[in-house]
Amino acid sequence: MSGAKGLSRQQMADRLAREFQDGWIVNLGVGIPTLCSNTDIGDRDITYHSENGVIGYGGVAPEGTEDLNLVNAGGQNVTLKPGAAVVHHADSFGVIRGGHIDATVMGAYQVSMGGDFANWKLKGQKGGGIGGAMDLAACAKRVFIILEHVTRDGKPRLVTACDLPVTARGVVTLVATNFGLFEPTGSGFRLREIAPGLTVEEIRAVTGGTLTVADGLGTVAVGG
């Protein structure tokens, strides 16, 4: 791998947020997914949902303006958009289980070629809690994942088959990593857009399973 690191975490979130369509209700999970609410998506009306009961929130609150009682799923202080609501935890899950989430964006440790993902427990770890991930995976209309392309020791996170405890099988439709935008196809991963400064062969070398390239491969737009 060259010295290029690909996309920043905010750029990864920005790329997935550009998939959101006007009128969608989008759940943002812990970690990198929370950064999607910072993305400028123009005049599209997106309602951001957090499983802790904040519905219709905006970006992270600027320093000095935080309401300590108003947080997203990651515990970050956020702002509220006009029409927002803070509801009971049970009502928030009612929105999820009622099938009202158009897309959920979650982090993960691994994603497989078949669209399986693992995001709640590492190998050999005792305990652990799956939280709302299983409800979201089962009930959201679309499951998007954001994760770093490789582990700290350089092992692929996009794999032939997950070897960690699986959260859900066959549900992931789109994956953003710091190296690009990918679709699990069942028999591999299709690279739709590549991060600036990287080559297909560099990405193939650190991707588990088969990597194919979409016709008219694009480059992920960053900045501006």
pLDDT recorded at residue 127: 72
pLDDT recorded at residue 5: 79
Integer angstrom CA distances of residue 121 from 7, 91, 105, 113: 26, 27, 18, 19
pLDDT of 4 > 60? The answer is: no
Integer angstrom CA distances of residue 151 from 68, 110, 156, 201: 33, 10, 6, 19
* DSSP label at residue 7: -
pTM, to two decimals: 0.94
pLDDT one-digit tens code per residue, 147-176: 999 999 999 999 999 999 999 999 999 999
Integer angstrom CA distances of residue 156 from 45, 120, 153, 187: 35, 17, 9, 16
What mean pLDDT do residues 74-91 have? Answer: 94
Q: How far apart are CA 130 and CA 121, in angstroms?
A: 8
Average pLDDT of the chain, as a whole number:
94
What mean pLDDT do residues 178-198 have? Answer: 97
**Complete domains list, the chain, with CATH:** 9-219 (3.40.1080.10)
Contact 189, 182 (CB under 8 A): yes
pLDDT of 2 > 50? The answer is: no
Catalytic residues: 51
pLDDT one-digit tens code per residue, 91-107: 999 999 999 999 999 99
pLDDT recorded at residue 224: 56
